[in-house]
Amino acid sequence: MATKYASVLGAGAKTGADWANAYDNTQIVGTALPAIGAGGILYIEAETYNITAAWALPGNGCSVIAVNATSHVEDGSRAILNAGSAYNACIDGSVRSMSQVRNIDGTAATFIAIYLETSSTAYNCIGRNSQYGIYAGSIVNCLAYSNTYGFFPNVGTVSYCETRNNTYGVSTAASVVGSVAFGNTTGITTARLISGCVIDDNTTGVENSSVVTTLLGSSITNNGTAINCNAGAFTVESKNLYKSNTTKFGGTTANIISLGGSVDGAIDPYTDQPTEDYTPSVDAEMINTAFPAGTIDEAVNISYLNAGLNPQMPTSTAPVFAGITKFEILSNNKFYVAWTAGTGTITSYDIYIRNATNPFNVSYLAMRVKGTVTETIVHLQGDAITLLQGGTTYYCGVRADNNGTNDGNTVELSNICSGAELIQRMTVTQPVISL
C-alpha cells in the first residue's frame, strides 16, 4: 500500500514520490498503478489524459483521485481520461472490491467509461460517449450522458446524480435518490426504489420490466409516458407530481398501484417552467466568461436557450418590478431565487448571476423564466459540475422584461458557494408533500 502522484507531463525524477517528482502519463499504467498496490492511492492532477490503455486498479481498496492541477487540493476539479474509442474502459476496477474513484471524467471507451466492482464507489465522476457511462455499486454526485446506459449500479445505489441524453439513464438499481433524469430515451428502468427525483423530458420516464418499483415524492414531467410497467412487474407510486406527460401510465396499467397523494398538473414553483425555458441559457463560452475558474468540455454545449439571448431594442413599456428578494446557493451547480411579482406586461423574468457585483449583462444571464411564478431553482448543466466555485461570493439579480424592455432595477443579493459537493436538500427538487 502506497500513495503516489502523477500528472500528464510528470515532474522531477518522475518517481511518483510527491508532486515535485510526479509520474507522467506514460508511466501510469505500467508503473504508477502497480506501485500503489492494494489499499493505495494515486493522486493525479486534473488535466486531460489521452490514455494508452485502461487504467487497471491493482488491488482491493485502492483509490484514484483527481485534484486541482495548481493547488493540488481536492476541490471538485476533474481529470479527463480519453480512451479515444480504443480501449474497453478508462478505469477498470471490475475485479477490485471496496475501491474508490473520485473526480474522474471518462470518455470514449468502447465498453464502460468507469468500470468498478459492485462494492466500490464512483464520486463526482462523469461517464460519457461509451456503451456504459459508470458501472459501480455506489454512484454519488455523478453525471452521465451520451451513452447507451448512463448509470448501471447493478442493484446498487445512485444518489444525487444527473443522467441525460442516454438510451437508458439509470438501469438496474436498488435505489435512485435525489437525482435528475433528463432527455433520455428511458429515464430510469428496473429500480426498486425511486425517491425525490426529477424525471423530465424523457421518452419514457420510469420503466419497470421485472421488479417491484416504489416511486415516491418525485417530479415526473414532460415525458412521453410517465410510467410504463410491463407484465410481470409492479410499480407502486405515491405522492408524486405529474405534469405535461403525453401519457401518464402505459404498458400493463393494472400493475401500477397508486397509494394516493400524487398531484396531476398542479403548479410546482420549482418545476413549472415552459419547456423551452426550463434550463439555463448558458453555453461553454458564456460560462468561461462568467466563471473563469470553471472548466468546460466543449463537447457538451448546453445552449438550450440561445434564442432570446441577444438584447432587443426597446419597443414597449417597461414593467414595474422591485427585483430579487431571495438568493441562496444550494450546491455548486444549482441556486434558488425568489422575487415578488411585478406589474404591467411581463413576458419573462430574467435571472443573472456573476462572481462580481453588477451581474445585469447578457453575458451573465442564467435563466429566462416565463409565466407567473415568483421563485425557481436554476440548474446549471454542463460538463463542469463545479460551475460555482467553493468559497466564492456570487451576486444575483432579477429583472422583469416586456418583449425586450426590462424594468432596469439594480437590486442584487450575494451568497457564498460553500463548496463543490451537492447539497442533498437541493437536489431533491420534488413537490412539497409530507411523506
Residue 33: enclosing H or E segment and its boundaries?
Answer: helix 33-36
* Separation of alpha carbons 244 and 221, rounded Å: 6
* Separation of alpha carbons 403 and 345, rounded Å: 9
Compute the CA torsion angle 98, 104, 109, 111 (nearest 10 deg): 30
Q: Which cell numbers in the block locate residue 397?
A: 439579480
**Cβ–Cβ under 8 Å, residues 16 and 27:** yes
312-315 LR contacts (CB < 8 Å, sep 24+): 312/403, 312/404, 312/405, 313/404, 314/404, 314/405, 315/403, 315/404, 315/405
Residue 339: enclosing H or E segment and its boundaries?
Answer: strand 334-339
Q: Give the side-chain half-sphere CA count within 13 A for 202.
A: 31
Amino acid at 112: I
Q: Which cell numbers in the block locate residue 267?
A: 403548479
Give the bridge partners for 152, in sequence order: 135
Task: Express each pLDDT in 78-87 by its tens digit.
Answer: 999 999 999 9
Amino acid at 398: V
* Separation of alpha carbons 130 and 166, rounded Å: 10
SS3 call for 315 = coil
* Separation of alpha carbons 133 and 165, rounded Å: 11
Nearest to 37 by CA among 65, 57, 10, 12: 57
Q: Which cell numbers in the block locate residue 197?
A: 427525483
SS3 call for 433 = coil
pLDDT at position 252: 92
Please, is 316 exposed, middle or buried when counting C-beta atoms within 10 Å of its C-beta (0-12, 13-18, 19+)? middle
SS3 call for 149 = strand
Amino acid at 357: T
pLDDT at position 260: 86
Number of neighbours of residue 349 by Cβ within 10 angstroms:
28
Q: Which pTM value belongs to this model?
A: 0.63
Nearest to 149 by CA among 177, 119, 100, 191: 191
* Separation of alpha carbons 105 and 310, rounded Å: 33
Q: What is the pLDDT along the chain (435 residues), one digit of tens a residue?
A: 899 999 999 999 999 999 999 999 999 999 999 999 999 999 999 999 999 999 999 999 999 999 999 999 999 999 999 999 999 999 999 989 999 999 999 999 999 999 999 899 999 999 999 999 999 999 999 999 999 999 999 889 999 999 999 999 999 999 999 999 999 999 999 999 999 999 999 999 999 888 889 999 999 999 999 999 988 788 999 999 999 999 999 999 999 999 888 888 744 434 444 443 433 333 334 334 443 433 333 333 333 233 333 333 345 789 999 999 999 888 777 888 999 999 999 888 999 988 889 999 877 888 888 777 888 888 775 443 346 787 889 999 999 988 778 899 999 999 988 754 333 323 333 333 333
User: If you ran DSSP here, which 8-state letter would residue 388 be given?
Assistant: S
Please, is 91 exposed, middle or buried when counting C-beta atoms within 10 Å of its C-beta (0-12, 13-18, 19+)? buried
* Separation of alpha carbons 396 and 388, rounded Å: 13
* Separation of alpha carbons 368 and 341, rounded Å: 15
User: What domains appear along the chain, each with residue ranges and CATH number?
Assistant: 3-264 (2.160.20.10), 275-427 (2.60.40.10)
Q: Which cell numbers in the block locate residue 244?
A: 405535461
* Separation of alpha carbons 136 and 121, rounded Å: 6
